[in-house]
Structure 1
Amino acid sequence: MTERHPILHMFCGKIAAGKSTLAARLAGAPQTILIAEDDWLNALFADELVSLPDYVRCSSKLRHILAPHIAVVLNAGVSVVLDFPANTVEQRSWMRGILENTTASHQLHLLDAPDEVCLARLRERNSRGDHPFAVTKAQFHQFSSHFVAPSPDERFTVVRHDEGD
């Protein structure tokens, strides 16, 4: 049997930039699992998520409990597509902490879509009603105001996806 080197896939991009679409595609690879924050937040905290501070609180709880599990999965040789936003230095630091407890490699997928494209996708997603959370234009701008692209000193292998990739 050949040894498989697992990969942690992470995603950086504004709301509706295409992170979950790319995550679903990557999760189709052999010996790869998808862990999607929106699914977990919806199942565990849907009634508590009303504001940005609510999201920060609930997401923090989720990250705390999942980090050791994700490291175990990676160390077992299974790749993880981590559909959690890596949109702030703090979020990426949490992901870096997971990597430091594994021998896995990683890819930080940076999805760069203009706000107009994200907002159009968001309107379409909201109208379909198939996403666990409907996000308003004001919420999009509130969350986007915290977006910080990764810098080289964070030491991530960045794979850039421009709008249209």
Structure 2
Amino acid sequence: MPTLYLLCGKIAAGKSTLASRLATRPATLLISEDHWTSALFAEDLKTIDDYARCSARLRAAMGPHVVDILRHGLSVVLDFPANTVAYRHWMRSLADKAGVSHELHYLDVPDAVCRQRLRERNASRGHQFQVSEAEYDLFSSHFVPPGPAEEFNVVVHTV
């Protein structure tokens, strides 16, 4: 049975690392927002408003594609941040349209750990985007953990 795997957690919580592991499952495809936004919109991403605009464009293009992939029997790891109720609603709609199950992997990682990982990630220059402490704070201020009313199949990961 195809499954849509979703990831929720603050910046540098380990979402992409977990996404890569989940994508090693048989008949499972990884789709990464960071990969696509860096390839398509790198020059346009300067502010959180730029991110919201570009991310919305990417979701509009990718949504029907993800539904088709799921309907064709492949599972999808959607490495897009499921960090707000609205984003999770969009992601859930993809699973519902495709008629497949879903798993929301929530990485419940303390800010201190995320900040340390972010500093290491920035120093290594191994990630598509460099994120400052101020940007971490700004994005984190919009973070909403998943709640029971959203009715997701939640898998919690802690450090």
TM bracket, shorter-chain basis? over 0.9
Partner of 1:162: 158
* SS of residue paired to 2:6: strand
For 2:67, which of 71, 78, 83 is the aligned residue? 71
For 1:56, which of 52, 57, 60 is the aligned residue? 52
How far the C-alpha of 1:110 sits from its partner, in A, is 0.4
Distance 1:34 1:96 in 2: 17
* SS of residue paired to 2:68: helix
How far the C-alpha of 1:41 sits from its partner, in A, is 0.1
Aligned length: 159
For 1:124, which of 111, 120, 123 is the aligned residue? 120
For 1:115, which of 92, 98, 111 is the aligned residue? 111
Alignment pair present for 1:44 and 2:40: yes
1:49-99 CA-to-partner distances (Å, cap 9, x unmatched) read 011000000000000110000000001010000000000011001101111
Runs of 4+ in 1 over 3 A off after TM superposition: none
Identity rate, percent: 55
Partner of 1:137: 133
Kindly provide the amino acid, as one letter, of the partner of residue 108 in structure 1.
Answer: L
* SS of residue paired to 2:76: strand
Kindly provide the amino acid, as one letter, of the partner of residue 36 in structure 2.
Answer: W
Gaps in structure 1 of 5+ consecutive residues: none
TM-score with structure 1 length normalisation? 0.95
Partner of 1:90: 86
For 1:32, which of 24, 28, 33 is the aligned residue? 28
Distance 2:49 2:99 in 1: 34
